[in-house]
Structure 1
Amino acid sequence: KSKAGRDMIVIYIDTDPSDKQPCYFSEQYKNDSREQKRWGIGGTIRQLVYDSDNKTNRGFKTFIEMVKGSNPGFKVQWDDNFTGCLKGKLVGGVFGKEEYKDSYGNNKFSVKLFNFRTVEDIKNGVEVPKDKLLTPGSNSDDLVPVVDDGELPF
């Protein structure tokens, strides 16, 4: 469940062993020295099951369709083993860069999953999304100066 109590699945993704950065998130997890290890933020996808109209969320449906398309013969088990049936399945992902401001006010980029695709789509090549840039003035802690136009009306 989400913090708001909505149905949600948490998807832990990892890079393929043949990737430039093989098993990136599992290696990160393995090398995590904290007492309570955590899967990397970039490898954790929280996907709502239903949209605000209580219909199947488009992102959830896309994820399921891309998993089915990437694993020949796979059938979703719509029962208590639903999440278990997805464990270890292949799915493709399109990643892109997203700009953010760090706690010191510096603009930086993180790489994030933008959408799911079939593994075949990825092998055939997909267009890399344009960088998602901050809009001017967003994510800013700067104070806006108050213009003094004289006396207050009250």
Structure 2
Amino acid sequence: MIDEFEKRILKMLQQNGRASTQELSNAVGLSSSPCWRRVKRLEDDGFITRYAAILDGKKLGLHAFAHVQISLIDHSEASLNTFHNFVENSEQVLECASITGDFDFMLKIAAANPEALEHFIMQKILRLGVVRTMTTNFILRQIKVAGALPIEI
């Protein structure tokens, strides 16, 4: 597992992924070399999977977001592979989760406008040939977009 210093490092990196080793070491109370070794170990052990910038979708012209619940026609390996490959290769799909209940998956999708979202759903998702049913809920306003995981220290 990870110790309290490493938890502090992770918490700090979630707030500022561009923090220098010196900034991290000052924030968590370690000298630079041990701090750098811990960050490297957290990366190597898969606690840190990647670094990314959080962008403002509206400034990029993305004004339509939706949660889309999907049920597949079956759960064969071919259907699941088709769906998973589509999700992995679609930039408009921001998130995908396997869920319980009446649907198999929940997607979060981004598009320039409602018409572009409709086009993506009708021309891309439904044309996969593996979707049985689907429900779309437009996101009216995003109140919190964090991406950071809770870390108990």
TM-score, normalising length: structure 1? 0.22
Bigger helix share: 2
Rg comparison, structure with higher value: 1
Greater RCO, 1 or 2 (C-alpha within 8 Å, sep 6+): 2
TM-score, normalising length: structure 2? 0.22
